[in-house]
Chains A and B, each alone.
Chain A
Amino acid sequence: MLKALNPLSKLVACAVWLAASILVFDARFQIALIVVIAAVLVALNRTSPLLLLALMVPFCLFGMGFLTTSLLFRQESEFASRMAGEALFSTSALSAGLTLFLRALACGMISAFFTLTTDPGAFIRALMVHARLPPRIGYSLFAALQLVPDLASEAQQMRFARAMKAGRRLRRVPGPGEIVGLVIPLLAFAVRRAGRTAIALEARGLSPRGPRTVMNAPGFAGADVIFLVAALGVLGLCAAAVLAFR
């Protein structure tokens, strides 16, 4: 259901949510955002809660940095503490750090919402059609999207060759030495691949000017309006609730 929405509607909603998350320095507001978005993803996008938890791990680690910094360096966090002066944990040194931690998590959840519900190809097409993204940049983005799995597959082959020569089994996770050894050949591959893609685009007629059709570009429908109103409404309700309980 969420996947059928125009990616640009979701982009606007996510941008507003991100701005609100940054501007409203209140732990309860951040919690409300996290819970609402997670619930929407689980209920409407059938996202596994475990996947959501796994996706939040890097954001948790990032947020922990804020938390520990706030606890260990109170002087530097004085401004943040003052900002959070009227918040739930206003008397505690933990308050600012916790709010910052939750904000990192809320931003992560908003990003996860966008990426889990949006097809990258549809997003680029929507940008080309509705946001005047030049096709040359749009299709370069498509190529970049393809480059990632191609690099992974190329790296895989190289790792097989290295494992064979070293007389060992392929490790599930490459060691630091192995990663360093792969950098130069992969870089060479990426440069070669980028050149080939540029030629492919040109040979098939991608020009810097003139009209062109964009197939399967997502349009805007009533559902997008409903989604935007709902997204902004929920945000308003969260903010109002926070203000009401101050």
Chain B
Amino acid sequence: MPEAAEWRGVSVRYPFVRSAAVGPASLSVRPGERVLLLGPSGSGKSTLLLTLTGLIPESIPAVVEGDVRLFGADVATRKPWGWAPEVAQYFQDADQTLCGMRVEDEIGFALENQALPEDGIAERIADAMQRVGIPEGWRSRPSSSLSGGEKQLVALAATLVQNPPLFIADEPTAHLAPQAANRLHALLTEHDGSRSVLIVDHRLDGLIQAIDRMVVLDRSGTVIADGEPRTIFREKREHLAELGIWRPAASLLDARLAEAGMAPPVAPLSVEEALAHVDPDTANQDDVRKARPSVKAFVVACAAPAVAAAHDPPVVARLMKADCAPFLGPTVLRGIDLAIRAGEVVGILGANGAGKSTLGLCLSGLLPLKSGRRTGAPGGYAFQRPENQFTAGTVRDEILAALPKSGADRSSPRVADILASWDLAGFENRHPFELSQGQKRRLALASLTASDRWPLLVLDEPTAGLDARSASDLVERVGALSRKGRAIAVITHDMDLALRLCPRAIVVGEGAILADAPTGELMSDAPLLARAGLAEPSCAPAMRWLRRAAAC
């Protein structure tokens, strides 16, 4: 039986660029296999996926060398649209999958193109909506009226409905709330011997257990590992970390246990697996005691450091009885009372469409309230898409625009210092749009923090699209800013990030703030998490293990 998909020595070079975006790379997906493709930002994962049905070079100009084959046939034997019955593609950006119709029509579009009977299409649409968890009420909504996460759900249903022998998904859960992301991971990887799956995703916890094989690319887009996830995450642990590739929490715990000589016999893919051999109820108590410092260190590393509150820091911004609505839109949050103090990092959590970004904009003072009152300093807002924030033609001008209009502070050395401190030295004359995603986020933050204009910063999904190293770097920088007294609100779907970065968090849902408490407390409130469409962080089983071990 031929491979479902195969790249043989494939390299891709975009026009006007000297070096190849990816490759030469050789990899394959066997029939019925579920393969995860990992690599740092800019390693060419998405490019590789686009060559699979010939979208590169047919629709996106590039020079492709090597062979790309689908089900044994050269991909060039058909036009990209001719592969649609065999290959369903979910792109990184939901807007790349959706075509501008009502939800129902979006989901049925690929089936219409296959000229299936109308009744059959209607049945499959209903089934896909139900599987993905799309409410019936969305059927007639235009896809343009949905939030980013909601669009992602519809795009996924539109891809799943095709039910082809090969499914390609490029970061399918990037903007989804945890519960929705978990459901989608389960849907994507449900065992079906007739369906092959190739996924690129950074959210590995909850997904990795269902993966048969994983392929890892390095920065140049060359394959550096191809095999079973357990083996790769243990044997290439340091190399993956060095490249900034995301790893499941279990891999980090495995490393700590290994240092103490308590590594599990089989490389773990979940925290539960990592601790199964030292179960406090059944394992040798000496082993449990030996493992405890490692588990504790792992948990400590997962959680934000406790804030030493020597005195009551001043309130930087406060919302009182605030009703919040998107610009020219209906009210989505009512009666909000929220205060954020200097040096505080507050997580804003909630399901897709709960109103987190609207709350962030109101908190920063950019969005006028429908009713109620806001007091405090103006806030700087780092948008989900950093491109929207850039107004200047070069990186240097972007920083200059953020500095006070007069004074020595606008000197070249000052700008150079700022850029160097954000690892942007050498990019002064580049257009901000030419930077990588991580660099764009750093530039957005550099411009927001270049002066003292904004004692409050609101960061909207700051780690979306970043590799592990860039995300870790961002966490450190945010920590440093808070230590300097900035108040920071972080809007995120990433529970691990919230726990690691934010000592305090609020949960938004049902048109109000459902909870406002220390993040650790919120994360152990299972009913609240379920109600808000959230899920516990990946280190939660280790926290429970510590409690059980302490009780023994």
Interface residues of A (CB under 8 A from B): 121, 139, 142-147, 149-150, 154, 156-158, 160-165, 167, 169-170, 181, 185, 188, 193, 195-207, 210-216
Contact = CB atoms under 8 A, between A and B. Distances in A.
B109 A204 contact: yes
Contacts of A145: 100
B115 A202 contact: no
A213 B327 contact: no
B320 interface: no
Residue among A144, A157, A193, A214 with the highest chain B CB neighbour number at 10 A: A157
B96 A205 contact: no
B401 A165 contact: yes
B93 interface: yes
B79 A207 contact: yes
B390 to A, nearest CB: 8
A84 to B, nearest CB: 44
A225 B402 CA distance: 64
A200 to B, nearest CB: 5
Residue among B109, B114, B454 with the highest chain A CB neighbour number at 10 A: B109
Contacts of B89: 203
Contact of B100 (A146, A195, A199, A211): A146
B112 A196 contact: no
A154 B53 contact: no
Contact of B111 (A157, A164, A213, A216): A213
Contact of B383 (A157, A181, A214): A157
B366 A205 contact: no
B100 A143 contact: yes
A170 B368 contact: yes
A164 B55 contact: no
A169 B368 CA distance: 8
A180 to B, nearest CB: 12
B464 interface: no
B99 interface: yes
Nearest to B80: A202
B102 A121 contact: yes
Contacts of A214: 112
Contact of B381 (A160, A167, A205): A160
Contacts of A147: 100
**Closest 5 A/B residue pairs (Cβ):** A205-B84, A146-B100, A205-B113, A157-B388, A143-B100
A205 B85 contact: yes
Residue among A200, A204, A210 with the highest chain B CB neighbour number at 10 A: A204
B391 A162 contact: yes
A167 B378 contact: yes
A143 B99 contact: yes
Contacts of B158: 204
Contact of A204 (B60, B113, B115, B391): B113
A121 B144 CA distance: 13
Given A161-B389, A185-B387, A213-B118, 4 more contacts: A121-B102, A161-B391, A200-B97, A202-B81
Contacts of B114: 205, 212
A198 B105 contact: no
B115 A211 contact: yes
A164 B388 contact: no
B122 A215 contact: yes
Contact of A146 (B96, B143, B368): B143
Contacts of B293: none
Interface in B450-499: 453-454
5 contacts: A154-B388, A164-B380, A165-B391, A188-B433, A196-B96
Given A198-B59, A199-B55, A207 B82 contact: yes
Interface SS, A side = helix
Interface in B36-78: 53, 55, 59-60
B144 A215 contact: no
Nearest to A141: B100
A81 B547 CA distance: 95
Contacts of B380: 164
A207 B530 CA distance: 43
A200 B59 CA distance: 11
Contacts of A160: 361, 366-367, 381, 383, 388
A212 B100 contact: no
Contacts of B420: none
B246 interface: no
Contact of B364 (A164, A188, A200): A164
A165 B492 CA distance: 24
Given A121-B102, A203-B53, A156 B327 contact: yes
A204 B114 CA distance: 9
Interface string B98-136: 111110110011111111111001100000000000000
A193 B99 CA distance: 10
A179 B95 CA distance: 25
Contacts of B115: 210-213
Nearest to B55: A199
B389 to A, nearest CB: 4
Residue among B60, B327, B453, B454 with the highest chain A CB neighbour number at 10 A: B327
B314 interface: no
A209 B143 CA distance: 26
Contacts of B79: 202, 207
Contacts of B387: 185
Contacts of B361: 160
A215 B102 contact: no
A134 to B, nearest CB: 13
B142 interface: yes
A143 B142 CA distance: 11
Interface in B7-48: none
B91 interface: yes
A139 B99 contact: yes
Contacts of B109: 204, 206
B234 interface: no
B230 interface: no
A123 B366 CA distance: 39
Given A212-B113, A213-B117, A215-B118, A157 B385 contact: yes
Contacts of B390: 161
Contacts of A185: 387
Contacts of B84: 203-205
B145 interface: yes
A188 B97 CA distance: 19
A162 B121 CA distance: 45
A108 B142 CA distance: 26
Residue among B100, B145, B383 with the highest chain A CB neighbour number at 10 A: B100
Nearest to B388: A157
A156 B325 CA distance: 14
